[in-house]
Amino acid sequence: MEPTADPAALDAAARALRQVAQNLEAGGSVGAFARQASGCRWTGKAARQFQTSVSGDATKATSLAGELRAIAGLIEDGARKVRQIRAAQAKALADQQKKSNAPVKPLASYPH
């Protein structure tokens, strides 16, 4: 069986990645910890270490969100290319049918 690409499935994967990225940027529990850590009255070495750690985690989450969005964009580009290729194939098939006047199997009948 040959590999095939389903543009709708690719778009769904990109949407899922964008949702995860949005959740990461919203902060989730890391964001809540970061807000609490920055506003608390807790002082001392442990407090500073905690604040630094949570702040670093929040920064990493934001960075990962950006990377997920970039990956989602690449997946969407791939889906767009698959659609373009399929449209070109359908046009070529229609042109071939017109030239030969022979019945040609519709593109939708091929596995995808």
- pTM (predicted TM-score): 0.70
Alpha-carbon distance of 92 to 88, in angstroms, equals 6
What domain range includes position 64? 7-109
Residue 1, in any domain of the structure: no
Name the DSSP letter for residue 83: H
**pLDDT for 12:** 95
Question: How many domains does the structure of the chain reveal?
Answer: 1
Residue 2, in any domain of the structure: no
Residue 66, in any domain of the structure: yes
Residue 15: which residues within 8 A CB-CB, separation 6 or more?
72
Residue 10: left if φ>0, alpha if ψ -120 to 50, beta else—which one? Answer: alpha
The pLDDT of 41-61, averaged and rounded, is 84
pLDDT in tens, 6-30: 999 999 999 999 999 998 888 766 6
Residue 45, in any domain of the structure: yes
Residue 55, in any domain of the structure: yes
3-class state of residue 41 by DSSP:
coil
Residue 53: left if φ>0, alpha if ψ -120 to 50, beta else—which one? Answer: alpha
Alpha-carbon distance of 58 to 71, in angstroms, equals 20
Residue 59, in any domain of the structure: yes
Alpha-carbon distance of 58 to 78, in angstroms, equals 30
Residue 76, in any domain of the structure: yes
Residue 43, in any domain of the structure: yes
